[in-house]
Amino acid sequence: MMEEKKTPKKQEVFRYEQIAGDVIQLIEQGTYRSGERIPSVRQMSQQQGASISSVLQAYLLLENRGLIEVRPQSGYYVRAAPIDNLPEPEISSPGLDPNHVNLHDLMMMAMRDSLNPGLVQLGAAMPNLELLPTERINRIMAGLARTASKGTHRYELPPGLEELRVQIARHAVNSGCQLSPNEIVITSGGVEGIDLCLHAVCNPGDIVAIESPMYFGTLQILEVHGLRALEIPTNPRDGISLEALQFAIEHNPIKAVLTISNFNNPLGSCIPDEKKKELVELLARYDIPLIDNDVSGEIYFTEKRPWVTKAYDKKGLVMLCSSFSKDISPSLRVGWVAPGRHKNTVEWLKFTTSVATATLPQMAIAQFLESGGYDHQLRRIRREYASNVALLSQAVTRNFPAGTRVTRPSGGFVLWVQLPETVDSLELYALALKNSITITPGYLFSPTNQFYNFIRLNAAAWTYPIERAVRRLGELVVELAGKNAV
């Protein structure tokens, strides 16, 4: 037998994960099709120069993910493909008037339930903690605490740590952006960045055009600032309708437009790059700022990273917001904004709101980016999330009743599920909670009740308890659909 290849350090991909990744690729490219036998453990161990136990572990992982199945005395087989994909939800059709947001009670309820460790968490869009580079970041922070000790305790006043801004600017080249570190302001997470941008360009009572549905964290900011949301029809594939947006602009004094152009949460939509350009040009004609939240832009399942709207910004009107919460750690609270022509105002508001973002997390993330660890991390999570999203989608397809629709995102890790019209997502929420499961009800993603029969599911992790929970959820939907149809 060939010699076992070197085992990577712990924070890197384990050998069995590499083997599992290779098998996934072979399945995805059609080398092994559904129902076909894959190489035996012994054959794979020889092919890969890996130990029997690494291959066994890899096969167990694939089995747990529902990709292969073991047939006693026969071997391992690619699991039969699920029934046809469910249809996707159609483009949203909100009303034409702006509305105040009033979601805080619902939001607090969902937040409290998301903290309960006794529940299977399908609701909150938390990244999979197993996939975060926690040990690596902790080691970097311990090293910094030793070597830079006093430096870690100084204020890093706005615009924030220069080394980090340099790293962010270098990384932004991948998204089509030629940013200078001087154009960037570090924030305490992505939501703070959006808050600062809205505060910089709007006054209470102003109208903000938003993609519909929209991430509830952003709707909360509109609520707190007394802003009115004008929901624009948004397609689950290619995002906000430019025709509808132009119509809205011509009929309302819109002060800002809010998008998640890459992998809208919850919709999963991604505005194609050419359409992003048109969007930026449209807003440039009316001199309206675009606040674009790119928090999941790095988690793409396609060949190439989709660009950011900022790549097309000639007038400094795009305020690009992002954070490291989805791919490094939500708890470090490090995000950033490239606010274009409103940079000075955003910097001042950052200073008046929270003075500075904590220094040690900024230093740690800068070092992580510089070391190349971030690129490695992103490659890993893209693969894992693509697989987990597919697995959750297949489970919804298998377990939910006729009339269900589900999105097919090409990035991020959430699914937006449209339930039969007789199912109310808050009724389902209560029922699911009794079964120790959380979901996010569609009500949270709009100031009107247009998504009463939608739910958002988090696809970041795929485990047996989650698979069981999705099955149970499907039964509950069937139960509610039947009961309410009577």
Ligand X SMILES: Cc1ncc(COP(=O)(O)O)c(C=O)c1O
Measured from the CB atom, the residue of 189 and 409 that comes closer to ligand X is 189
Q: Of 66, 89, 217, 236, which lies in the binding site for ligand X, with binding defined by CB under 6 A?
A: 217
Closest CA to 209 of 98, 338, 340: 98
Distance of closest approach, residue 186 Cβ to ligand X, in angstroms: 12
438 binds ligand X (CB under 6 A): no
**Closest CB 191 distance from ligand X, rounded Å:** 4
**Cα-to-chain-centroid distance, residue 105:** 24
**Residue whose C-beta lies closest to ligand X:** 189
User: Max alpha carbon distance in the chain (Å)?
Assistant: 73
Rg (CA), the chain: 23
Q: Does 325 bind ligand X (CB under 6 A)?
A: yes
Query: In Å, how far from its chain's centre is CA 234?
Result: 17
Instruction: CB nearer to ligand X: give 48 or 440.
Output: 440
Q: Are 49 and 2 spatial neighbours (Cβ–Cβ below 8 Å)?
A: yes
Rounded least distance, CB 227 to ligand X, Å: 17
Identify which range of 53-61, 63-71, 79-87, 183-191 contacts ligand X by CB under 6 A: 183-191
Contact 61, 20 (CB under 8 A): yes
Q: How far is the CB of 137 from ligand X (least distance, A)?
A: 15
Q: Which stretch binds ligand X (CB under 6 A): 15-23, 184-192, 275-283, 310-318?
A: 184-192
The minimum distance between CB 207 and ligand X, in angstroms, equals 21
Query: Amino acid letter at 422?
Result: T
Which residue, 294, 207, 216, is CA-closest to 251? 207
- Residue 309 near residue 264, CB atoms below 8 Å: no
Instruction: Give the one residue of 260, 311, 390, 431 binding ligand X; rule: CB under 6 A.
Output: 260
* Residue choice 160, 233, 268, 330 for contact with ligand X (CB under 6 A): 330
The footprint of ligand X on this chain (CB under 6 A) covers a number of residues equal to 14
Counting beta carbons within 10 angstroms of the beta carbon of residue 311, is it exposed (0 to 12), middle (13 to 18) or buried (19 or more)? buried
- By beta-carbon proximity to ligand X, the closer residue of 269 and 293 is 293
Contact window for ligand X (CB under 6 A) among 59-67, 322-330, 398-406, 438-446: 322-330
**Residues 58-77 interacting with ligand X (rule: CB under 6 A):** none
**Cα–Cα distance for residue pair 208/248, rounded to 1 Å:** 10
Q: What proportions of the chain, in percent to the nearest 5, are helix, strand and coil?
A: 45, 15, 40
Q: Which stretch binds ligand X (CB under 6 A): 188-196, 356-364, 387-395, 448-456?
A: 188-196
- How far, in Å, are 89, 96, 259, 392, 473 from residue 420 at the CA level? 11, 25, 27, 19, 14
Give me the residue label for tokens 């708890």: 331
Closer to ligand X at the Cβ: 48 or 265? Answer: 265
- What is the contact surface with ligand X in residues (CB under 6 A)? 125, 189-191, 215, 217, 260, 265, 293, 295, 323, 325, 330, 335
